[in-house]
A and B are shown apart, each in its own frame.
Chain A
């Protein structure tokens, strides 16, 4: 039999090149789309960015002035929802991975957690309104908005915590238990510190999600126009994504406030980026600390 090795190798190499270039182009394409969006927003938004823009109240029916109350509002909501969702989500994740036995109950909770992550955010908004705003009489407030957003990111926190704990080598658990440590001592002194850098990934994802959501705060917290800073957690606030929606669709003068809309979008993206960078620094810090704590 005559085998044409040359032909076989050529065809092999062609296929390899084809696959390689397809994947390469697709990867660059995805990055390209992101840069296009970012570039578009930066190009249109950079003109209105100034110290005044981020430190002044909106003026003239939101066509002039700054967006300071919306910035403060978004930061408050991020902080509020994280304070609520993080301890709760981490505790749930610890229970699920370290304590819950394999079986129906654990599977059920996992499925429910995943389902919770799949619920449209407007449904969270309506749920938050009926429970926090009406039933518990929080009214439209930072408290109600933070709790609603907190529930929204709870599944993310639980899942990332579970995954982070699962990634910790079992030999640490066994080594600790073999020294007479209790399960809680093992979890809190060895497992959790090792898992913490990865748990912070959940923090990063949550921050992005909370900063950008509009629907959950629509009925629970966000103010259409409120040119003052909140005094307590029972106050309403403006928030960047909702403000963006308002001035882009239903403001007093949409054409005139268009540059402010781009500016708002840019500030929102910048805030998320800065918070992600800070969280990454935190993750590195804990990553380094974990080996020598």
Chain B
């Protein structure tokens, strides 16, 4: 019921980003950033990901779509090893970031997570000031130089298109911001530690259409510096922001291709049914 409503709202919303005929990233030769080979993931007895093999190019946006429970969020959390926090998770196969297996022995999860930032569905700023929220990632990674931190905080907030709105209230609690501002603060917080990959788990689904559009605009701009993977329930959003789209269903990767191909010429009937709204 809710998804239907969400999509209705989304479909009436005016797309701010002009639709591109061919994503620019398609023309330029790209470097492989992330690769998974035959990844199987079990939650206890439940087989959540079934042999996923997929490649993501550097500085592109990949959208993961599919009905609830299809494994797209689980797949997203592979790349910063957030699934490790869930008990009874068993992972097989290879997950390569910059050619290195991140599940190998001797990989430091905190170093990995510094390189692979994440933005969550619900904005989750810390109960700290706006400044400290963005500075947090720097501090926990051992940076103490005040000027450096102040500079980086400002730059990250600018990148997240929030600086102008908060520059006069950096000492105020982050909870005083609106939901959309909080989410951009969380994006700034993730950017502050200079990751090369940004994972976004339905980053706009808890926001109003205007805030949602701002986030989309932001994703579009961030693409020039970061490799972005975004999970979304919103087909229009996937169509607007992503270069590549992967359709998941019941733990399987059904189809992956350029977003344009997926939306105009899906090869699999299930993909076609899903993107045309016949199920999901």
Contacts and interface: CB of A to CB of B under 8 A. Distances in A.
Interface in A171-223: 171-172, 174-182, 185, 189-190, 193-194
Given A180-B141, A292-B173, A174 B110 contact: no
Contacts of B111: 180
B212 to A, nearest CB: 20
Interface centre among A171, A177, A193 (most CB of B within 10 A): A177
Nearest to A194: B127
Contacts of B128: 190, 291-293
A102 interface: yes
Contact of B120 (A171, A180, A185, A293): A171
A115 to B, nearest CB: 27
A156 to B, nearest CB: 25
Interface stretch (B13-21, B79-87, B244-252, B267-275): B79-87
A179 B124 contact: no
Contacts of B190: 178-179
B238 to A, nearest CB: 23
A172 B126 contact: yes
B118 A178 contact: yes
A179 B120 contact: no
Nearest to A178: B118
Given A172-B124, A290-B127, A292-B173, A178 B82 contact: yes
A179 B137 contact: yes
A285 to B, nearest CB: 15
B113 A177 contact: yes
Which of B87, B112, B140, B186 gathers most chain A CB within 10 Å?
A: B140
A268 B245 CA distance: 71
Given A171-B120, A174-B82, A179 B129 contact: no
Contacts of A291: 127-128, 173, 175
A169 B127 CA distance: 11
A293 B125 CA distance: 13
Contacts of B193: 179-180
A185 B109 CA distance: 14
A293 B127 CA distance: 8
Number of chain B interface residues as a range: 20 to 34
Given A172-B127, A175-B124, A194-B127, A292 B113 contact: no
B127 A179 contact: no
Contact of B140 (A101, A172, A179): A179
Given A174-B82, A189-B136, A292-B173, A180 B127 contact: no
B47 interface: no
A180 B124 contact: no
Contacts of A174: 82, 85, 120, 124
Given A180-B140, A292-B173, A175 B127 contact: no
A181 B140 contact: yes
Nearest to A180: B114
A13 to B, nearest CB: 36
Given A175-B126, A291-B175, A292-B172, A180 B87 contact: no
A194 B126 CA distance: 9
B171 interface: yes
Contacts of B66: none
B180 interface: no
A178 to B, nearest CB: 4
A173 B250 CA distance: 29
A102 B190 CA distance: 31
Given A181-B140, A182-B140, A176 B126 contact: yes
A176 to B, nearest CB: 7
A180 B126 contact: no
B155 interface: no
B260 interface: no
A178 B124 CA distance: 11
A194 B124 CA distance: 14
A61 B172 CA distance: 61
A179 B173 contact: no
B59 to A, nearest CB: 21
B87 A178 contact: no
A177 B84 CA distance: 11
B189 interface: yes
B110 A180 contact: yes
Interface string A254-293: 0000000000000000000000000000000000001111
Contact of B110 (A171, A182, A193): A182
Interface in B88-125: 110-114, 117-118, 120, 122, 124-125
Interface string A46-59: 00000000000000
5 contacts: A179-B113, A179-B117, A181-B137, A189-B136, A190-B128
Report the 9 A-B pairs with minimum CB-CB distance, sorted nearest first.
Answer: A180-B114, A171-B124, A181-B140, A179-B137, A291-B173, A180-B113, A178-B118, A175-B124, A180-B110
Interface of A: 101-102, 169, 171-172, 174-182, 185, 189-190, 193-194, 290-293
Given A189-B140, A291-B173, A291-B175, 6 more contacts: A175-B124, A175-B186, A176-B136, A179-B141, A180-B110, A292-B171
